[in-house]
Structure 1
């Protein structure tokens, strides 16, 4: 995940852009920080999905096959 400083900087740039236009350097920095944030978020979300198992009320595993295959591929990588 991103550091607190990076998150604070994202918020500072967002607030500044609401009041006045950002310089080219600030806009580029904002774009980089947002891309890094999204990459971290997507990675975290993928990790959550890879650990998920779906079970119905009767205790039957109903995890979608596509997810099971992706989980198996992740296990084989390690």
Structure 2
């Protein structure tokens, strides 16, 4: 997966807040920030995962493409397929 700068910025802060929560607890503001960062992280993670899945072409052992029609249609809309 390509480097995602947004995730690279979110993860250290999420980890910092998680560590603080375990050691001494969080203020209400920190808890809200942690929740917001977690939502942003999940959203970005899902976007990246969807993008990767949409780029995949699946082949069986005989070399015949068996990519689902749904994924093929998405790839066509994005100009990733010639068929």
Aligned to 1:64: 68
Q: How does 1:1-78 map to 2 (within 5 A)?
A: 1=4, 2=6, 4-75=8-79
Structure 2: 5+ residue stretches without partners: none
Q: Greater relative contact order (Cα 8 A, min sep 6): structure 1 or 2?
A: 1
Is the partner of 1:57 in helix, strand or coil?
Answer: coil
Over 3 Å counting, the alpha-carbon distance change for 1:4 and 1:60 in structure 2 is closer
Contact 2:7 2:41 in 1 (8 A): no
Question: By how many angstroms is 1:5 displaced?
Answer: 4.0
Give the TM-score normalised by the residue count of structure 2. Answer: 0.77
Structure 1: 5+ residue stretches without partners: none
The count of residues paired between Structure 1 and Structure 2 equals 76
